[in-house]
Amino acid sequence: MGKVTGFQEYDRKMPEKLSPAERVKNYNEFESLYSDEELNKQSARCMDCGIPFCHSGCPLGNIIPEFNDAVYHHKWEEAYLILASTNNFPEFTGRICPAPCESACVLGIHRPPVAIEEIEKHIIEIAYQKNLVKPVAPLIKTGKTVAVVGSGPAGLAAAAQLSKAGHEVTVYERDDKIGGLLRYGIPDFKMEKWVIDRRLEVMEKDGVVFKTNTEIGKDIAADELTRNFDAVVLTGGSTIPRDLPIPGRELKGIYFAMDFLKQQNKRVGNSPITAEDILATGKDVVVIGGGDTGSDCVGTSNRQKANSVKQFEVMFQPPEKRTPHMPWPTYPMVLKTTTSHEEGVERHWGINTKEFLGDENGNLRALRIADVSWETDFLGRPVKFSEVEGSEREIPCQRVFLAMGFLNPQYTGMLESLGVELDARKNVNAKEGIYRTNVSKVFAAGDMRRGQSLVVWAISEGRECARKVDEFLMGHSVLESKDSVNQFDQVFN
């Protein structure tokens, strides 16, 4: 434990951010790093709990009190090694994770939790500065080959781990650049893309081969992979967006969030855009969907200088604090105000969009909406809604971005030709802890298996799946699993 009285002496403090007015001028990240002194204080807040609930809150099982202690004592290499033992990409999670570890932090019972995510980001940035992030693949290879399809965080984590185990790994990606939603979903203002490129350089030195502009099931037949590789890992993500099939859906000006966000990331990354431009500039924008993807549309619309931005959510407004139904250490479904919201948006809850209205040229001109009220069950969960009488009205708008989540992975093409079985939710049926599909030597992980989720879960799935692939290829695995946490506890204590 860094400092016994640290949690009593120091308050949680977040690094400085540029003002909303400044940051909407471009797509850059806008958060600075802590000073050395502040980083030391923040790490000193960790109580080194006897039962560190932060571990169990983290899907990767990050060994948090140990790295907090190492940071406090300026043991940068030790902090990095502890963190890297459970997380291949702390530079991603340190920037964009919703930090379930912090929701589970024991200090959070009566004070603001330890700033674990920020500390994680600092450890990895310092490790890069000090040239501690090095290739780890063994010189002697196993002679086994693995194809990974999809280069999002799940595919990259699986590839990194499999290469660490000594296998020859090739990652196939249908887009023109590697990264999945890290590259072409999450906006640059949340994570600049040099962060991915810097990591890819390390992975290439490790021997991982990346093939872009290659769709499996189209450019290369899926069974070619099963013939030519000893194992195949499917990490193609959950890519089919939820639609809103109400009257007027065919009007011009209504887009899926991902079409809008991907284009902007391509613009920032100087990648060619082949479709028509989708821009919010000068438009009255309504984002339908109150989640993170919706919030990214808000931030992007403001940067494109939209005339006005509204965000509609059909569910009721979440509470500001934990309720008895969401006690510590569960992840609380409370009201979240993101940095994009701070930049300017009108947020509305309990809104049902009933019709898109167009002008004589087939362009969107307004939405017909109504307020709804919700019936909830004894746990406060929504059961059904009914329209508030007399609340129907028109809202002028020329751009709508549909951000209501993703249904399941694309079945046509790769999954269909492989004959992969799906589960009841139409995700790939490969059970957690096993990660094997019904097709011989084919495994699956990430959003493609789990359904739409988070980067931290994708990394966790990629790692655990790699371990199962390694076991399948070699009879046993040399890779760590979440269960190795205790072994590291012993090494570092």
Q: Quick one: what does residue 332 bind among ligand SF4, ligand FAD, none, with the CB cut-off 5 to 8 Å set by partner type?
A: none
| C-alpha closest to that of 64 among 76, 75, 73, 53 | 53
Query: Taking a C-beta distance cutoff of 8 angstroms, is the pair 188, 182 a contact?
Result: no
Residues that bind ligand FAD (CB under 6 A): 96-97, 149-155, 172-175, 180-181, 185-186, 190, 215-217, 235-237, 258, 261, 292-293, 296, 413-414, 446-448, 453-456, 458
Question: 127 or 154, CB closer to ligand FAD?
Answer: 154
Helix (H/G/I), strand (E/B), else coil: 88 = coil
396 Cβ contact partners less than 8 Å away, ≥ 6 residues apart: 284, 365, 366
Of 48-56, 88-96, 122-130, 395-403: span binding ligand SF4 (CB under 6 A): 48-56
- Distance from C-alpha of 188 to C-alpha of 268, rounded to nearest angstrom: 8
Nearest-approach distance from CB 4 to ligand SF4, in angstroms: 12
Strand 399-402 vs strand 284-288: parallel, antiparallel, or unpaired? Answer: parallel
- Which has the closest alpha carbon to 340: 114, 122, 23, 117? 23
Kind plus residue range of the DSSP H or E element containing 401: strand 399-402
Site membership for ligand SF4, residue 53 (CB under 6 A): yes
Task: Indicate whether 114 belongs to the interface with ligand SF4 (CB under 6 A).
Answer: yes
Q: How far is the CB of 116 from ligand SF4 (least distance, A)?
A: 6
Per-residue interface string for the shown chain with ligand SF4, residues 89-108, x marking contact by CB under 6 A: ----------------xxx-
From 44, 58, 63, 64, residue interacting with ligand SF4 (rule: CB under 6 A): 64
Question: How long is the chain?
Answer: 493
Q: Is 361 within 8 Å of 337 (Cβ atoms)?
A: no
Q: Does 71 bind ligand SF4 (CB under 6 A)?
A: no
- Closest-CA residue to 303 (of 95, 15, 16, 18): 18
| Least distance from ligand SF4 to the Cβ atom of residue 74, Å | 18
Residue nearer to ligand SF4 on the CB measure, 60 or 64: 64
Structure tokens at 492: 């570092």
Nearest distance from residue 61's CB to ligand FAD, in Å?
16
Should residue 79 be labelled a site residue for ligand SF4 when binding is judged by CB under 6 A?
no
Contact with ligand SF4 (CB under 6 A) among 15, 18, 31, 49: 49
Phi and psi dihedrals of 426, rounded to 5? 70, 20
* Chain-centre distance for alpha carbon 315: 22
Name the binder of 82 from ligand SF4, ligand FAD, none, CB < 5-8 A by kind: none
Smaller CB separation from ligand SF4, 47 or 288 = 47
Positions 382 through 401 that interact with ligand SF4 (CB under 6 A): none
Q: Smallest distance, Å, CB 50 to ligand SF4? A: 9
Roughly what angle, to the nearest 10 degrees, separates helices 76-84 and 64-72? 170
Nearer to ligand FAD, 350 or 446 (CB): 446
Q: What is the CA radius of gyration of the chain?
A: 23
Phi/psi of residue 190, nearest 5 degrees: -90, -35
7 vs 172 by CB, closer to ligand SF4 = 7
Binding site for ligand SF4 (CB under 6 A): 46-49, 52-54, 64-65, 68, 105-107, 114, 116
